[in-house]
Amino acid sequence: MPVYNTKQETLQMQGEEKNTINVQYLGVGGYLFRHGQNALMTAPSITNPSLLKILSLTRLKTNEGLVDRLLPTVEDVEMVLVGHSHYDHLLDVPYVMRKYAMNAVVYGSKTMGHIMAAAVDKSRIIAVDTYAAKGKTPGQWIYNQDRTIRFMAIESEHAPHFAGMKLLPEGPYDKDLKHLPRTVFGWVEGQTYAYLIDFLNEQGNIAFRVHYQDAASTPPLGFVPDLPANDLKRVDLAILCVASFTQVKEYPEGIIRAIRPKNILLGHWEDFFRNQKRPVKVLRTTNVRNFIKRLESVMPGDSQWQMPMPFTQMRFPLVEKTE
């Protein structure tokens, strides 16, 4: 039996400590951020179909009972950010948005939008392609209703899976799907985005800045663009992607040197083909020790990293801009 008791812990933490941000790792690329009364999440992935199931090309579907049991409270989530549309990031999002995050809007590539159109109302889907930063050119900030959270999508890329090859199709889709994809090959990548996410204080100043990636990318793809002076702030928390990191050059060194984050979370490190009832293991063929060694060789002296177990909750102090 799993030992997680996510719902109760989340309820206890809700509304606590105005001066902190709560982050919960939901596995793979999923994170739940809570700041006062406001919440944002990145695409949660809980089902973890087995490799055998994926290779046999039987229908991939959300394990609804498992999501019901493991998903923390997300009723207050306003924004769901999707980096790319592979099944290990998007498969569970339709069910989560229909049953739990019922007030949330999902953001990602237009391909993501065409997939999600098969499952949720189009008023709840926004393609970020035209708002995204490209290279050094900034994109547009997208705000939540209370203007306490904003994010900017940043054009990035998805590392090859193995031996320089992408094993899953890239897409894109150009029109809305009538049904959710049936097999792994229907969950195409689309354009991959990184995200810069700002949590804002009552005066509208940046109180905490997150840089998020759900796929390793070749530098400088995914880097923070050249922002105007009033938007500058050190990244307080960088979320890195361990899966496939050796398939691109200079990851994580490039991104760490570029953004010098204060805190670093290693994500997408666990074997996501493994049944959630079994103990968590590192993704096969992934040398996490080497990732950490390379990370530590370039990390700023005042930075720290963590590699959380799925469903771990973390709390970070807000670091208001001083200049």
Residue 30's Cβ-count burial label (10 Å; 0-12, 13-18, 19+) is buried
Q: Closest distance between Zn ion and the C-beta of residue 231, in Å?
A: 29
Q: How many residues bind to Zn ion according to rule CB under 5 A?
A: 1
Scanning 51-59, 82-90, 125-133, 247-255 for contacts with Zn ion by CB under 5 A, the matching segment is 82-90
- Which listed range, 36-44, 87-95, 104-112, 275-283, lies at the site for Zn ion (CB under 5 A)? 87-95
Least distance from Zn ion to the Cβ atom of residue 29, Å: 6
Residue 229, CA atoms < 13 Å, CB-side half-sphere: 2
Phi, then psi, of 108 in degrees rounded to 5: 175, -160
Q: Which is nearer to Zn ion, 186 or 225 (CB)?
A: 186
Q: For 89-200, list the strands marked E by DSSP.
A: 105-108, 125-127, 142-143, 149-155, 193-200
**Closer residue to Zn ion (CB): 88 or 198:** 88
Binding marks (x or -) toward Zn ion, 288..317, rule CB under 5 A? ------------------------------
Whole-number minimum distance, CB 109 to Zn ion, in Å? Answer: 15
- Of 88 and 92, the one with the shorter C-beta distance to Zn ion is 88
Residue 88 interacts with Zn ion (CB under 5 A)? yes
Is the Cβ of residue 77 or residue 82 nearer to Zn ion in the bound state? 82
Residue nearest to Zn ion (CB): 88
Q: Contact, 97 vs 113, CB < 8 A?
A: no
Q: Between 33 and 87, whose beta carbon lies closer to Zn ion?
A: 87
Q: In the complex, what is the shortest distance from the CB of residue 87 to Zn ion, in angstroms, rounded to a whole number?
A: 9
Kindly state the smallest distance separating residue 85's Cβ from Zn ion, in Å.
10
Please tell me whether residue 92 binds Zn ion under the rule CB under 5 A.
no
Please answer whether residues 44 and 27 qualify as being in contact, where contact means their C-beta atoms are separated by less than 8 angstroms.
yes
| H or E element at residue 207 | strand 206-212
Q: Which is nearer to Zn ion, 88 or 270 (CB)?
A: 88
Interface region with Zn ion, contact rule CB under 5 A, candidates 71-79, 83-91, 219-227, 257-265: 83-91
Per the CB < 8 A criterion, the answer to whether 6 and 27 are in contact is: no
Of 188 and 299, the one with the shorter C-beta distance to Zn ion is 188
Count Cβ atoms below 10 Å from residue 161 Cβ, excluding itself: 15
Closest distance of CB 162 from Zn ion, Å: 13
Cβ atoms within 10 Å of 273's Cβ, excluding its own:
16
Least distance (Å) from Zn ion to the CB of residue 201? 33
Q: Which stretch binds Zn ion (CB under 5 A): 81-89, 169-177, 226-234, 246-254?
A: 81-89
Cβ nearer to Zn ion, comparing 88 with 231: 88
Nearer to Zn ion, 38 or 45 (CB): 45
Question: Which residue is it, tokens 């109302």?
Answer: 121
Distance CA 283, CA 274 (A): 9
The region that residue 147 occupies, defined by phi over 0 for left and psi between -120 and 50 for alpha, beta otherwise, is: left
Q: Could you give the C-alpha distances from 273 to 46, 174, 308, 323, in angstroms and in order?
A: 10, 29, 18, 46
Q: How far is the CB of 214 from Zn ion (least distance, A)?
A: 6
Q: CA-CA distances (angstroms) from residue 130 to 108, 170, 184?
A: 11, 19, 27
With binding defined as CB under 5 A, does residue 236 bind Zn ion? Answer: no
Q: How far is the CB of 165 from Zn ion (least distance, A)?
A: 15
CA distance 114 to 174: 7
38: its two tokens = 């406001």
Q: Where along the sequence are the contacts to Zn ion (CB under 5 A)?
A: 88
